[in-house]
Chain A
Amino acid sequence: MSSNTTEKTVSDVLLALEGIVEVAPALVQIISTIKNNGQITLDELNQIMATRQAAVAAADTALTGAG
């Protein structure tokens, strides 16, 4: 890992996730899990990834004027 990497604490992650809850209801469960366990599973990572992929796809559509 590079030496200039900024450590992200669980609090940092929760803050970032909570900022997008309004557009990604599925994240509520994930946030709850992280708060309870302080960790995140690979399955939950995949859910977050799927949420991002869907958001980027929607943004692509908006930016190109397609659809």
Chain B
Amino acid sequence: MRKLFAALCVGALMLAGCSLFGGSTTPLTTQQTVVNAYTASEASVTAAAVGVQKSVQAGLLTPGSTTALAIKAGLDAASKALDAANAYIAAGQYTAAQSQVDSANQQVTTAQTATPTVPADTTTTTPASGS
């Protein structure tokens, strides 16, 4: 009986946490799911593109190198897939859109894996004069 009570308490706490931290107990529609997946993928590709630029600027990635061109091909493929996904969403064809999103995610993951990571910003602040 005590174990059952404990299990019920844990379940209640999990549900409460879900509500507090934005989890939803309402099932998403296909449209919502695909649009959200698409939007997140857009953000991933954009972030990857920015990461690539930072990597080049930091001298960790040589422009024109085999690695750089492979990353470029991946980003371009992901970008084209998302263009197609956007068109499918506009046309209400969510299954086709999701397929393109999946393809984009696969491509961008490969590109991100190949991209050297720039160390976190270690900028130091300079104390104000006289302080």
Residue positions of A touching B, CB distance < 8 A: 1-2, 5-13, 16-17, 19-20, 23-24, 39-40, 42, 45-46, 48-49, 51-53, 55-56, 58-60, 62-65
- What's the nearest-Cβ distance from chain B to residue A63, in Å? 4
Q: How many A-B residue pairs lie within 8 Å, measured between CB atoms?
A: 131
**Known contacts A11-B23, A60-B76: A65-B49 contact under CB 8 Å:** no
Assembled-state Cα–Cα distance A60/B89 (Å): 26
* B50 surroundings in chain A (CB, below 8 A): 20, 23, 55, 59
Q: Pick from A6, A23, A39, A48: contact of B37, CB below 8 A.
A: A6
**Known contacts A2-B98, A45-B86: A63-B72 contact under CB 8 Å:** yes
* B64 surroundings in chain A (CB, below 8 A): 63-65
* A2 surroundings in chain B (CB, below 8 A): 98-99, 102
Closest to B85 in A: A49
Q: Does B5 touch A at the CB level, under 8 Å?
A: no
**Known contacts A5-B102, A52-B82: A60-B39 contact under CB 8 Å:** no
Q: Pick from A8, A52, A62: contact of B79, CB below 8 A.
A: A52
Q: Are A16 and B44 in contact (CB under 8 A)?
A: yes
Q: Are B21 and A11 in contact (CB under 8 A)?
A: yes
Within 8 A of A (CB), among B15-38: 21-24, 28, 30, 32-38
Q: Does B110 touch A at the CB level, under 8 Å?
A: no
Q: Are B49 and A56 in contact (CB under 8 A)?
A: yes
Q: Are B22 and A9 in contact (CB under 8 A)?
A: yes
Closest to B55 in A: A62
